[in-house]
Amino acid sequence: MSPAYAVAAIAVVTVVTVLIGSRGLRRSRTTSDFYVASRTVSATWNASAISGEYLSAASFLGVAGLVMAFGVDMLWYPVGYTTGYLILLLLVAAPLRRSGAYTLPDFAEARLGSLTVRRMSGVLVVVVGWLYLVPQLRGAALALHVITGAPAWLGALIIVVVIVASVSVGGMRSITAVQAFQYCVKITAITVPLLFIGFAWSGRGAPPVTAHAAPVFDVPTTVRFDTAARITVRAPVTVAAHGVLDGRRADADVPLAAGRHTV
């Protein structure tokens, strides 16, 4: 993607996000408005917001990267945290709503009557939130840097400013609307390429699972093979080999002739 198009797309999404978030300013007047949107969020709206949150950098970029790096076995990761998320909704979200509490520390103190437990819960919420937030900011920073060439810190800064502004002015009503909007953006970003891939394969039978584009490395790159593989070298090249190459142990610079090799 051209950097100009990328910057324009990011600017549009950012502006729309801020505008949607600012709508909650007029509606956020009480504690209930701020924390739980007065409990008036519809099931469809709430489901879209949860889906928008779920399709985060971890799902959108992290799982794809894990599968690319380590193979399809990594698909157990999204299966695992999807199951955990459903358990969380069943065992925590539903009782929390019935209790009338706004936060997990509120709920813990109400059920157990202990200020110490409330404080411990607050610390755990902050720690878990921080561990979740840091990868999100890192993903935003890397994505913006790769697409536009902007400094890596700029993506994280944009995310922080937009989200803090949305939460501050409108509370949960604003952030729910923003998450629902982001769900529409993300699901479109997934669906459109999928449709074009389907169109490209239409009329050709099954997709060519054995067809791979030959990688070209413009800079020194480390490639690791955890299982035996056959590779085709298009042009002579010298590699720093550490392992088994063509049936012999190698631990030095080795010239590879054009042709097939076993690594």
Task: Give yes or no: residues 127 and 239 share one domain.
Answer: no
Q: Is residue 212 part of a domain?
A: no
State yes or no: pLDDT of 123 exceeds 90: yes
Task: Give yes or no: residues 131 and 31 share one domain.
Answer: yes
| Tally of domains in the chain | 2
**pLDDT reported for residue 207:** 52
Cβ-proximal residues to 169 (8 Å cutoff; 6+ apart), any chain: 21, 22, 24, 25, 28
The residues with which 250 forms a beta bridge, in sequence order, are 243
**pLDDT reported for residue 203:** 60
Entry pTM = 0.58
Choose between 28 and 147: higher pLDDT.
Answer: 147
Task: Give yes or no: residues 116 and 236 share one domain.
Answer: no
75-120 pLDDT, tens digit each? 888 888 788 878 887 888 778 878 877 788 888 888 888 889 899 9
Residue 80 is part of which domain span?
A: 3-201
The mean pLDDT of 63-69, rounded to a whole number, is 81
Q: Is residue 217 part of a domain?
A: no
Q: From CA 225, how far away is CA 70, in angstroms rounded?
A: 10
Q: From CA 1, how far away is CA 14, in angstroms rounded?
A: 18
Q: Is 173 exposed, middle or buried (0-12, 13-18, 19+ CB in 10 A)?
A: buried
Q: What distance, in Å, lies between the first and last C-alpha atoms of the chain?
A: 34
Task: Give yes or no: residues 128 and 72 share one domain.
Answer: yes
The mean pLDDT of 200-214, rounded to a whole number, is 58
